[in-house]
Amino acid sequence: MNIENKKQWTTTEDNQLIDSFGRHITYVRISVTDRCDFRCVYCMSEDMTFLPKKDVLSLEELERLCSAFIKHGVKKLRITGGEPLVRRGIMTLFNSMTPHLQSGALHELTLTTNGSQLHRYADDLVKAGVKRINISLDTLHEDTFRKITRWGRLPQVLDGIKAAQDAGLKIKINTVAQKGVNDHEVPDLIAWAHSQGMALTLIETMPLGSTTGDITDVYLPLTEMRAQLEKRWTLVDSNDRTNGPARYVDIKETGGRLGFITPLTHNFCDTCNRVRVTSTGTLYMCLGQENCIDLRSPLRASEKDDLIHDAITRAIMDKPQKHDFKIDPEKRIPAVSRNMSVTGG
Ligand code: SAM
Ligand code: SF4
pLDDT tens for residues 184-209? 999 999 999 999 999 999 999 876 66
pLDDT at 13: 62
pLDDT at 340: 64
**Residues 128-137: pLDDT tens digits?**
999 999 999 9
pLDDT at 286: 85
110 in helix, strand or coil?
strand
Q: Answer whether 34 contacts ligand 2 (Cβ < 6 A).
A: no
Q: Where are the domains of the chain?
A: 22-343
- CB distance 230 to 188 below 8 Å: no
Q: Report the range of poorest mean pLDDT among 73-77, 109-113, 266-270, 279-283.
A: 266-270
Q: In this model, does residue 335 exceed pLDDT 60?
A: no
Read off the pLDDT of each residue in 269-297 and give the average, rounded to a whole number.
90
What percentage of the chain carries pLDDT values higher than 90? 72
* Nearest ligand 1 atom to alpha carbon 31: 7
116 in helix, strand or coil?
coil
Pairing of strands 132-136, 108-113: parallel
Q: What separation in Å is there between the alpha carbon of 161 and the centre of ligand 1?
A: 17
* Nearest ligand 1 atom to alpha carbon 138: 16
Can you name the residues that pair with 79 across neighbouring β-strands? 30, 111
CATH topology for 22-343 is TIM Barrel (3.20.20)
In this structure, what are the phi and psi dihedrals at residue 135, rounded to the nearest 5 degrees?
Answer: -120, 130
Q: In this model, does residue 302 exceed pLDDT 70?
A: yes
pLDDT at 339: 62
Q: In this model, does residue 267 exceed pLDDT 70?
A: no
The set of protein residues with a Cβ atom below 6 angstroms from ligand 1 is 36, 42-43, 80-81, 83, 112-114, 136, 174, 176, 203, 205-206, 208, 215, 340-341, 344-345
- CB distance 286 to 19 below 8 Å: no
Q: What separation in Å is there between the alpha carbon of 205 and the centre of ligand 1?
A: 9
297 pLDDT tier (thresholds 50, 70, 90) = very high
pTM: 0.92
Q: Report the range of poorest mean pLDDT among 81-90, 232-241, 242-251, 271-280.
A: 242-251
Q: Answer whether 344 contacts ligand 2 (Cβ < 6 A).
A: no
Q: In this model, does residue 250 exceed pLDDT 70?
A: yes
Q: Answer whether 39 contacts ligand 2 (Cβ < 6 A).
A: yes
H or E element that contains 287: none
- Beta strand spans in 256-324 (E): 257-261, 274-277, 282-284, 292-294
Q: What separation in Å is there between the alpha carbon of 333 and the centre of ligand 2?
A: 20
Ligand nearest to the CA of residue 32, numbered in listed order: 1
**Residues 140-163: pLDDT tens digits?**
999 999 999 999 999 999 999 999
- CB distance 311 to 296 below 8 Å: no
Which residue among 31, 111, 114, 118 has the greatest number of ligand 2 atoms within 8 angstroms of its CB, and so is best to mutate?
Answer: 114
* Nearest ligand 1 atom to alpha carbon 42: 23
Which residue among 43, 206, 339 has the greatest number of ligand 2 atoms within 8 angstroms of its CB, and so is best to mutate?
Answer: 43
pLDDT at 195: 98
pLDDT at 331: 47
Would you tell me the crossing angle of helices 154-167 and 118-128 to the nearest 10 degrees?
30
Pairing of strands 76-80, 108-113: parallel
118 pLDDT tier (thresholds 50, 70, 90) = very high
Q: Report the range of poorest mean pLDDT among 24-38, 133-147, 267-281, 298-312.
A: 267-281
Q: What separation in Å is there between the alpha carbon of 175 and the centre of ligand 1?
A: 9
**Which one-letter amino acid corresponds to residue 5?**
N
pLDDT at 265: 67
> Which residues does 183 contact at the CB level (< 8 Å), separation at least 6?
177, 220, 225
Ligand nearest to the CA of residue 208, numbered in listed order: 1
In this structure, what are the phi and psi dihedrals at residue 92, rounded to the nearest 5 degrees?
Answer: -60, -40
Residue 267 or 210, more confident: 267
Ligand nearest to the CA of residue 202, numbered in listed order: 1
Q: What separation in Å is there between the alpha carbon of 149 and the centre of ligand 2?
A: 8
**Residues 225-236: pLDDT tens digits?**
999 999 999 999
Q: Answer whether 40 contacts ligand 2 (Cβ < 6 A).
A: yes
Q: In this model, does residue 89 exceed pLDDT 90?
A: yes
Mean pLDDT of the chain: 89
Which residue among 121, 340, 342 has the greatest number of ligand 1 atoms within 8 angstroms of its CB, and so is best to mutate?
Answer: 340
Q: Answer whether 114 contacts ligand 2 (Cβ < 6 A).
A: yes
Residue 310 or 341, more confident: 310
**Residues 46-63: pLDDT tens digits?**
999 999 999 999 999 999
326 pLDDT tier (thresholds 50, 70, 90) = low
